[in-house]
Copies of this chain bind each other. A is one copy, B any other.
Amino acid sequence: MAEVTLIDAVTMAMAWELEHDPMVVILGEDVGVNGGVFRATAGLQKRFGVDRVQDTPLAEGMIAGISIGMATQGMRPIAEIQFMGFIYPTVDQMINHAGRIRNRTRGRLTCPMVLRAPFGGGIHAPEHHSESTEALFAHMPGIRVVIPSSPARAYGLLLAAIRDPDPVVFLEPKRIYRLNKQEVEDNGKALPLDVCYILREGTDVTLVTWGAMIFETIKAVDQLARNGVSCEVIDLATISPIDYETILESVEKTGRLVIVHEAARSCGVGAEIAAIVAEKGMYDLKGPIRRVTGYDVVMPLFRREMDYLPSVSKIVDAIGAAMHD
C-alpha cells in the first residue's frame, strides 16, 4: 500500500476507472501530454491513449457542453477545469443542462459526468487563481458538489463521483494537493457520497468545515484541546446535498456550532448549514452559531491572501467565543 498525496489519489482514482470502465474518458485543457497544470492526469494519456485522455481546445463552456453531450449518450466524461476562476463559462451548461436533463426528460437522458477543478487560495497564485465559489454550484438543483480533504477521501469520493449516475462537481483543495501523504489502497473502493465524515469526536463544540480548511481547523482544535475544550470536527465532504442529520446530531450533543470555510461569507455554504441548524437544531443550541470565513471581498492578490483566509487564530478565537456563550 502506497503513501500518496491528495493529488496522487486523484490520479489513482481516475486511472482505476479508466482501466475498469471503457466509457470513462478524461478531457480538459492540457490534461494530455502535459498531464494537467497540477499534474493530476500525469501519465494517463500515455497509459490509456489520446482517445481516453484528450486535450481540448481552450473553452470551458465547450468542455462542459460536450461533456454533457457525451454523458447523455452513454459516456462517463471526467472534465478538468484548470482553475476554479475559469469555471464560470460552464455555469450555463451546468445549471441549464447538466442538472436538468434527467428531470426534463423524465429519466430518458441522464448526465453522469464529473467536472473537476482545483480551488482555493494560499498558494501564491496569480490573479483569478485562488477562488472558492462552491456555493454557486451548491445552489443548483440536480448538481452534486463534492470536496475531499485527504488522500483517502479524494480517492474514494472521486471514484464515487465518477460512478454516480448524476453530474458531480468535484472540487480539489489545491493548497493541500501535496501537503501530506496517507496510505491509500488502490482497490477501486468508493466512499459514500451525501454523507459527512466525522474527523474528531468531541462534546463541547461542533466544527463543520471542508477542503483545505480542515487543516487550520484541526490545528485550532488541537490547540484548544490543551485548554480542555473538546471539539467535534465534521468534514462536510459532500457540499450539496448536505448530510444535515450528522450535523444536527452533533449539535444536539455539543450545543455549539462553528462553521469554517474559505469562500466569501455572504450566501456561502456556511449560511445553509447555519440555516438548517437554526431551523431544526435551534433548541439544542447553547449560543449563537458562528462562521469563520473568507471576507465578502475579491480574493486579494497573494501579498494579502493569508489575511483573507480563515486562520488558526481566527478559528481558535471563534471557538473560544462560542465556549463563553
Using CB atoms and an 8 Å cutoff, list the residues of chain A in contact with chain B. 61, 85, 88-89, 91-92, 95-96, 99-100, 103-104, 127-128, 133, 135-136, 138-139, 141-142, 240-242, 263-264, 266-272, 274-275, 277-280, 282-283, 285, 287-291, 296-298
Contact = CB atoms under 8 A, between A and B. Distances in A.
B279 A290 contact: yes
A281 to B, nearest CB: 8
A289 B298 contact: no
A133 B95 contact: yes
Given A104-B298, A280-B288, A289-B278, A268 B139 contact: yes
Contact of A289 (B100, B136, B279): B279
Contact of A135 (B141, B263, B267): B267
Contact of A279 (B96, B241, B264, B291): B291
B96 A85 contact: yes
Contacts of A135: 135, 139, 267
A138 B267 CA distance: 7
A278 to B, nearest CB: 4
Contact of A92 (B88, B103, B270, B279): B88
A275 B282 CA distance: 12
Given A266-B241, A279-B291, A127 B139 contact: no
A144 to B, nearest CB: 12
Nearest to A294: B141
Nearest to A128: B96
A282 B289 contact: yes
A55 to B, nearest CB: 22
A133 B139 contact: yes
Nearest to A299: B141
Instruction: Pick the 6 closest A-B CB pairs, nearest first.
Output: A274-B275, A88-B92, A278-B278, A139-B267, A271-B275, A282-B288
